[in-house]
Chains A and B, each alone.
Chain A
């Protein structure tokens, strides 16, 4: 199993640009989570999906953030327009609903907005 795959691993962009982060969950996992990690705020849950349906997006900081899961093997997190305060590591994680509950994290996407 390849694990959760995220891309890009690193992204440097300028303020105002659109950023798209991508995630491929582990095959067979039906829950997908997007977390943001910063020194100040730790690991924040942004949004999660179950069976491709967004369940709770209350952690999404602003309307500039949006996430989609068009099928069981792909999700995107988009920031438009990006701002310097969006700089963080964004983790995608997946799990099997109703199972042990372990979250399997991807390697993360480090975003720097100049």
Chain B
């Protein structure tokens, strides 16, 4: 089955700096890669996603890149703000369209 690895587990940046979180997946048949943000005590919520036919996608301060050959995908947050502090999860979904497997999460701290 699919396995998703995520690094780093913890990331601390200064406000205004960029943050990068990297993930790898094992199943070459996976075709959908969402990113979820979970604030303390809250539910995970989708912030951005990318499909396998696209190499990069951007939404304001966040962007995702996908390298299908290497089975790598990354989340980039620019101009970080204290409210970006949260746990971020990458995930991969199989081609059947059902099973979404999550990485272990990255706890991001943005210091003011």
Verify that A and B bind, or say they do not.
yes
- Which residues of chain A have a CB within 8 Å of any CB of chain B? 31, 33, 35, 42-43, 45, 48, 50, 55-56, 58, 91, 97-98, 100-103, 105-108
- Among B42, B89, B102, B103, chain A packs the most CB atoms within 10 A around the CB of B102
Cross-interface CB contact of A97 among B49, B97, B100, B104, cutoff 8 Å? B97
In the complex, the answer to whether B105 meets A101 with C-beta atoms within 8 Å is no
Say whether B29 faces chain A, with CB atoms less than 8 Å apart. Answer: no
> B43 near A102 (CB under 8 angstroms)?
no
Which residues of B sit under 8 angstroms from A101, Cβ to Cβ?
32, 34, 49, 93, 97, 100
- The 6 tightest CB contacts between A and B, nearest first, are A105-B43, A43-B102, A42-B104, A102-B46, A101-B32, A105-B44
Of the A-B pairs whose beta carbons lie under 8 Å apart in the complex, a sample of 11, sorted by A's number, is A42-B105, A45-B100, A45-B101, A48-B98, A55-B98, A101-B34, A101-B93, A101-B100, A102-B34, A102-B49, A105-B45
> A106 — which chain B residues lie within 8 A by C-beta?
43
Distance between Cα atoms of A56 and B100 in the complex (Å) = 12
Task: Please indicate the chain B residues that have their CB under 8 angstroms from the CB of A48 in the complex.
Answer: 98-99
Binding site for A on B (CB under 8 A): 1, 32, 34, 36, 42-46, 49, 89, 93, 97-105
Chain B neighbourhood of A45, CB < 8 A: 99-102
Nearest B residue to A3 via CB reads: B43
Are A91 and B44 CB-contacts (below 8 A) given A45-B100, A101-B34? yes
Inter-chain pairs besides A43-B89, A56-B98, A91-B43, 5 sampled, C-beta below 8 Å: A45-B100, A97-B97, A98-B97, A101-B34, A101-B93
* Given A42-B104, A50-B98, A98-B97: A103 touches B46 (CB 8 Å cut-off): yes
Bound Cα distance from A103 to B89, whole angstroms: 13
B98 contacts A108, CB within 8 Å? no
